[in-house]
Structure 1
């Protein structure tokens, strides 16, 4: 990289010195002896080259001197002025000479760029470390982006699945509620019908002659569970039959099994559902 910045500056400096010397010899050679013109040209180029060499020495030591820099730019301006004056006074090819009059200043600018590069240049080890850090940062950024995309895709899939499952559950619940509503509507119609009890009595009277049953279909609504008493005394079949018969006939008409069972347990008595139904059948 150093050769890429220093070679253009060296080449342009050499060209500028040659042009300056040639212009001085051509321009002053007609007015003064050519040796005098040669000395003037070499003086301009020598002063420029000497200040440039001193600037490079200071730069190598990490130092800088404004006076030396100013003298160097002075010689560059002198060389440029000579080229411009020659171009303006030349009878032939004045445009061509004017076109190359900027080369001394351009050479100084290139040396300035090379000096800036030297002050900011890094060793290959440092450049390798910087490249490694940048590559690591790029890798981490790529991994983070991939992780975010994967998380977003997974979350989208999960939300889609949850939404679909919720929709299916809602449809099933709506269908079940509709079916239950129709069933309970039919049941309520049958319960409130005038001929329901008579029809059921006609069917059961042949099975249980002499017994008048009271039919009650389930009612749509909340239920009140009754907690069984753990300390309730165990009853014999005779005592259970007597209690069931007493509770059943405590009102007129006789209570239904459900009402009897509710009052039986509310009174503090304890019996399994199987025994209670068996006692009900024996009494009723």
Structure 2
């Protein structure tokens, strides 16, 4: 991995130094001896190479010097200026020389990238640890997503079952209500019928002589639960005592209460009596 950043920087530096030396010799060789021009070119490249070597030494020690870096960039700018000046004064191939004038600065930039890579590089052990942490996080996220999907599917199944059960209960209640309504209508017709009333009166007259029966339909509607009382704790009332209690409850309000209201208050007061005895007592006192 290190070679991927250092090799381009070395190659670019070599090409830049060769171009700088060749341009200095060709450009200044006409105005001064070529040996002097060669010394000038080697001086530029040597100063650049020396500052680069010193900068790399400091980087290997974990240190950094702004002065050395500034001097290195100064030599790079000088080499670039030489190449640009030669390109502008060249009579032939001026565009080609100007196109390669940026190579010294590009070489310095590549060494800067290589230094940044060295300062942020990690060992293989650290990289393996990071990969392991990332893989663990991905595994946990996948497990969490699978758990959420499973819980969502379970909740959807439960809601579907509850909805279907509620629909079945509603259908049963509707059917029961319809049946009760029909039975209620039949009972009402039987109670209101003239012939049916005479037949019922003739039957009950032998059971309760001298009492005109009053037929009332049972209560169909919401009911309130009676208090939970132990039947053994409530003594059975005699017929006389039962008649007294029924009469007191019946005449507790004006006008007198109906049988249904009396029976409800009778049992709410904690008294105990069968429906047959209670209705017989009502007929006696009424």
Q: CA deviation at 1:272?
A: 8.9
Evaluate the alpha carbon distance shift between residue 25 and residue 271 of structure 1 in structure 2; reply closer, same or farther with a 3 A threshold.
closer
- C-alpha distance in structure 2 between counterparts of 1:49 and 1:270, whole Å: 118
Does the Cα contact within 8 Å between 1:229 and 1:270 map onto a contact in 2? no
CA displacement, residues 232-284 of structure 1 (integer Å, 9 cap, x when unaligned): 479xxxxx9xx69x97xxx9xxxxxx99xx8xx99x9999999x8xxxxxxxx
Q: Which residue of structure 2 lines up, in the alignment, with residue 255 of structure 1?
A: none
Equivalent residue, structure 2, for 1:76: 76
TM superposition score normalised by structure 2: 0.75
2:101 equivalent in structure 1: 101
> 1:197, 1:215 within 8 Å by CA — same for their partners in 2?
no
The answer to whether the 8 A contact 1:229-1:269 is kept is no
Render the CA deviation track for 1:138-165: whole Å, top value 9, x for unaligned: 1111111121122122212212221222
Matches within 5 A, 1:6-155: 6-155=6-155
Within 2, Cα distance between the matches of 1:174 and 1:165?
14
How many equivalent pairs are there? 254
Distance 1:7 1:270 in 2: 108
What is the match of residue 219 of structure 1? 218
TM-score (norm 1): 0.76
Distance of 2:130 and 2:196 partners within structure 1: 95
Deviations 1:181-233 (A, max 9, x none): 1211211111121111334577x69xx9xx99969575234789797454647
CA distance in 1 between partners of 2:57 and 2:67 (Å): 14
Cα distance, 1:50 vs. partner?
0.5
For the residues of structure 1 that align with 2:152 and 2:175, how far apart are their CA atoms? 34
Q: Report the alpha carbon displacement of residue 110 of structure 1 after superposing the two structures with TM.
A: 0.5
SS in 2 for 1:195: helix
Structure 2 gaps, min length 5: 248-258, 278-286
Gaps of at least 5 residues in structure 1 are 235-239, 252-257, 277-284
